[in-house]
Amino acid sequence: MRVLSVLLVALSVAGSAYSQCSVNDATPAQIDSTYGPTTGGNALTFNDNLGSNIQIANNYDFVSNGVVQLNGGNNLVLTGTLNPVNSSLTDKFSLRAAFVKSGAPSDVKQELNSNAYKANGGPVDPSTWSFYQIIPEKTKMVSLTNPNAVVTMSENPSTALQLGVGANGKNIQNGASGWFQFQATDGTNTAQSNPGGMEVVDININLGCSSTFDCQSNTYSISKASIDSTLTDTQGAQALYVDQVSSVFNNQQKFDTSAGTVNTISIDQTTGNLHLTSGFTSLGDQTTVQCDLRFNPALPNADYMAKLELKNSAYVSGGGSIDPNTWAYYTVNASGSSCTRNDGTAITITGDHDNMYLQWGKGANGKNGNFGLSVWLNYVDAALTNPFFDINVDTVCDNNPSTSMFYLNFTISSPKNFTTIINTLSSLNITQNSTSDNYTLTYIQQSNITSLNPISPSQTSLHNNTSTSIPSLSSSKTSSASSQNNISSSSQHNISSSSSSSKDLPETSPPTAPPATCPPGCIPAIPVVNTTETPAAGNSASNIEMSKLVVAILSLFVLAFFH
């Protein structure tokens, strides 16, 4: 069903054969019994061009799958861990192949039966395909076990990587195929294409949605990545970790995502850009930080590396199932990113830490094997050398992000003491000392509301933009929660948000993978950065901040009406 709908979308969009996912999974293009040729079916094949001396297999499929990211349509990176089809060979290879968009080559390969093509009444229209030329210096296959076994690839004149419905040459699904000259060595023997000859290595893949980067809303809620002790020896989970004790972070090092804020990542459908919005609350005191971070997909020629924080045995290279070649990588847009502490202190982001890009995928959060992301960002603290903070979170597709906006204007009357109210709410510690009596709560619900504890979806349906009657804060249940306080609501409204483009057809997006320049044996060689997770001395809070207040009021709201 899924494949069919993707196909229909692909077919119905003129000139575009992109699937519906922001990041595409690549799988071997299997032979279609009606339209396909008689040979092939693997993701990568040397077509028996290697000779018999070399210890490199003829055919490869992916360990799990590969990943293809298209950056605004102009750049394409294919990564995957390749597994030899011949089971008597065991050497896996890390593949990274980088491409830039080009015009149609002189030889557009049409390998399907002729009745597959539109000219003969078939479903495949090569005029809708896109074409990409390989970037040889950023394309490489490296053995995971023998760092001297390497295959490089270069352009085969007259052809290009062709992408679209039926472009894989094996079936009529969305996919890609390409023919490349190669130079291969197993460390002892070598084999290579003859320039201008037909000895090539072929890539034939299907592209489409899968269980990983498949989120039609392009919006994911984020939450602290808990520790899976079978995969890591690291102790202590937090959503945000500050590497050194920093006054910029109010001397706090460990933060969870805040309750009561919208904690999401969203993917821009046309550029592939990633936008992370989240509140973070210190595990030690009342400090909160609101972050608004923007990232761009890694470019095909970028040098960056994965950060492998789990045990070596967790990764494919160490016998595990986590495959960094299936992750997506993004570089921070420093000028478009910032965090703000509750007292107004601005935290200036300066760039990616040590060339480690944001990594997103299964096991990418560095704490467990869930689908999640992690990122290391440099920021400014004049008192510290090379300060940075980490974010490690699970990401869960929010299938039904709301587009409603909620307004709640309210006034607090004396005595301004939230402690009593807050102590009745689960897991919130708030001290109150505000200089202003009046607050406006503007709450844009972008995320699955279950992430906003303790509000549940059934409760929030009361507050959508078609509901005009919001219960008053002065209900009897409020007074029981605020026996020493007086909170009167001045006005409560909700309005609709204009930003609701998430149902439009998404474009496929950004690139991934370990750097092509990393040494042979690329994945095992990637340095693991040790985080020293010493808890900071607690620092007592003095001022209540707006986001805490938001939590308090939201919570009070819930307490008042839904208990």
Ligand X SMILES: *[C@@H]1O[C@H](CO)[C@@H](O)[C@H](O)[C@H]1NC(C)=O
Q: What is the 3-state secondary structure (H, E, C) of 502-523?
A: CCCCCCCCCCCCCCCCCCCCHH
Q: At closest approach, how far in Å is the CB of 152 from ligand X?
A: 22
Only one of the segments 184-192, 252-260, 298-306, 419-427 lies at the binding site for ligand X (rule: CB under 6 A); that segment is: 419-427
Q: Which CB, 169 or 272, lies closer to ligand X?
A: 272
Q: Which of 104, 119, 380, 528 binds ligand X (CB under 6 A)?
A: 528
Instruction: Give the other-Cβ count within 10 Å of 521's Cβ.
Output: 19
Using DSSP's 3-state secondary structure scheme, residue 380 falls into coil
189 binds ligand X (CB under 6 A): no
462 binds ligand X (CB under 6 A): yes
Name which of 208, 211, 176, 214 is nearest 4 in CA terms.
Answer: 208
531 binds ligand X (CB under 6 A): no
Q: At closest approach, how far in Å is the CB of 177 from ligand X?
A: 22
Gap between the Cα atoms of 278 and 221, Å rounded: 9
504 binds ligand X (CB under 6 A): no
Name which of 561, 341, 553 is nearest 440 in CA terms.
Answer: 553
76 within 8 A of 24, measured Cβ to Cβ: no
Gap between the Cα atoms of 192 and 213, Å rounded: 36
Q: Which of 244, 450, 517, 539 binds ligand X (CB under 6 A)?
A: 450
411 binds ligand X (CB under 6 A): yes
Q: Which CB, 50 or 160, lies closer to ligand X?
A: 50
Residues in 316-335 that interact with ligand X by CB under 6 A: 333, 335
409 binds ligand X (CB under 6 A): yes
Cα atoms found within 13 Å of the Cα of residue 532, Cβ hemisphere only: 5
List the structure tokens of 169.
């040459």
Q: Which of 53, 114, 472, 500 binds ligand X (CB under 6 A)?
A: 500
Gap between the Cα atoms of 363 and 318, Å rounded: 14
Residues in 252-281 that interact with ligand X by CB under 6 A: 273
436 binds ligand X (CB under 6 A): yes
List the structure tokens of 29.
């293009």
Q: Which CB, 100 or 108, lies closer to ligand X?
A: 100
Q: Which of 417, 434, 459, 539 binds ligand X (CB under 6 A)?
A: 417
Residue type, 344: G
Gap between the Cα atoms of 306 and 112, Å rounded: 38
Q: Which of 24, 234, 261, 296 binds ligand X (CB under 6 A)?
A: 296
Tell me how many residues contact ligand X (CB under 6 A): 48
Q: At closest approach, how far in Å is the CB of 486 from ligand X?
A: 4
336 binds ligand X (CB under 6 A): yes
Residues in 362-401 that interact with ligand X by CB under 6 A: 396, 398-400
Only one of the segments 91-99, 170-178, 367-375, 435-443 lies at the binding site for ligand X (rule: CB under 6 A); that segment is: 435-443
Q: Which CB, 158 or 496, lies closer to ligand X?
A: 496
Q: Which CB, 176 or 430, lies closer to ligand X?
A: 430
Using DSSP's 3-state secondary structure scheme, residue 395 falls into strand
Gap between the Cα atoms of 309 and 307, Å rounded: 6
Q: At closest approach, how far in Å is the CB of 176 from ligand X?
A: 25
DSSP letters, 158-225, are: T--EEEEETTTSSSSSEEEEEEEEEEEE-SS-EEEPPTTSS--EEEEEEEE--SSS--TT-EEEEEE-
346 binds ligand X (CB under 6 A): no
Residues in 53-92 that interact with ligand X by CB under 6 A: 86, 88-89
433 binds ligand X (CB under 6 A): yes
The residue of the chain with the least Cβ separation from ligand X equals 336
Q: Who's near 363: CB < 8 A, 6+ residues apart?
A: 231, 310, 314, 315, 322, 323, 324, 369, 370, 372
Alpha helices (runs of H) in 388-450, residue ranges in sequence order: 419-423
> Contact positions toward ligand X, by CB under 6 A?
86, 88-89, 273, 294, 296, 333, 335-336, 396, 398-400, 403, 407, 409, 411, 413, 417, 419-420, 427, 429, 431, 433, 436-438, 440, 448, 450, 457, 461-462, 464-467, 484, 486, 491, 493, 496-497, 500, 528, 530, 542
